[in-house]
Amino acid sequence: MKDSVVSFLYDPFKTGAYCSRLFIPYDAVMEFWEFLSEKAKQRHKKFKVKKLESNLEYFRFIRETGVEEFPEKVLDDMLNFLIKLDNLCPKEVVKWSDYGNLVIYPEYFVPSEREEGYFFFPPQAYFADIKDAISIRIDNKAIPDIVAEVASLTPKSMSIFKSFISAIPCIKSNTIYTDEGKRHSRRFVFDLYPSVAALWVDELAHKSMSRDIIEFLGGALDYLDKREWQMSIILSAISVEVLLADVYEEILRKGAPPAPIGFLIDEINKKRKFPPEAMRPLKIVNRMRKAAVHRGITSFTKKDAILGLMNATRFALWYSFESKNFCNV
């Protein structure tokens, strides 16, 4: 029986994600700012977090200049300050802070620094100890309020996140947290997929996959985080090419030529037809690889890169758990 990680990576739409919506009003963030400012004065500590503007035109200007001074970043800075207040910081906030050591952001394989990025509200994160993953999408159009869509693989990390939010002083009594249960729509599972893939690649894949395949899939995740969609697609395709070469050599009993995915598929199918669960991801990755290697023909998006990663991972899972019987028939 497949575990939750493998089941999601095989078919995220069927498996679904646990989802919630979070609404933190601007006034609650400001109340928290006043609370921390007063505590800093009492303890003779420097409180360097700038008071958040409420003017929408200001935020539009900031967004255009590329400066990351959005409400969730200010709240993140305030939470980093709260952590330093020792006995004043709720244990639930401390626990979520400790999980930050495992957060993958802003670049894959580069741990987040507490003073940089969105430490408490990462776009993607996974938790090796509980084999869970989470994604947090902030709606910048809701400025100056904070609105987020949160998705997780299991209820575990969602519960920890909710406990963290509910424990923040001034925030807990003003926050609207809506549990939407399990959802299967593309926008939720696509946001969550890189987090779950990173969990598998970093922590679980070594049990069944060779190191080079893990590195290629890791490279696809790396470029995904760097927003280099085309390169992410190419790395996903290379991982499939390497696996196809293995299948080619097992079935045809000779060394695989340095050929693209399409050629290897055709040659293998002449000898033995791939089953539909292997052929579907192969076709998608091959189509995307062709578009990616012809620069200037196609403009790619994050969803394209995730689709490439998704289907490369699906084929890698098929290879890991089912290809032995296919090759030995």
Please state the pTM of the whole predicted model: 0.85
Q: How confident is the model at residue 295 (pLDDT cuts 50, 70, 90)?
A: low
pLDDT value for 258: 83
Residue 9's pLDDT band (cuts 50, 70, 90): very high
Rounded percentage of the chain residues whose pLDDT exceeds 90: 33
Residue 306: CB partners within 8 Å, gap ≥ 6? Answer: 190, 193, 194, 224
How confident is the model over 48-86, as pLDDT tens digits? 887 776 666 666 665 565 555 566 778 888 888 898 887
Query: What architecture is the 208-328 domain classified under in CATH?
Result: Up-down Bundle (1.20)
Q: What percent of the chain has pLDDT over 70?
A: 86
Mean pLDDT over 175-190 rounds to: 87
Confidence (pLDDT) at 58 = 61
Does the structure show a pLDDT above 60 at 308? Answer: yes
- pLDDT bucket at 102, cuts 50 / 70 / 90: very low
Cα torsion 188, 193, 196, 202 to 10°: value is: -160
Residue ranges of the domains in the chain?
Answer: 25-189, 208-328
- Residue in 166, 180, 139 with CA at minimum distance from that of residue 28: 166
- CB 179, CB 159: distance < 8 Å: no
* pLDDT score for 64: 62
Q: Which pLDDT does position 117 carry in this prediction?
A: 44
Q: So what's the pLDDT on residue 113? A: 42
Relative to beta strand 132-138, strand 124-127 is antiparallel
Cβ atoms 265, 244 nearer than 8 A: yes
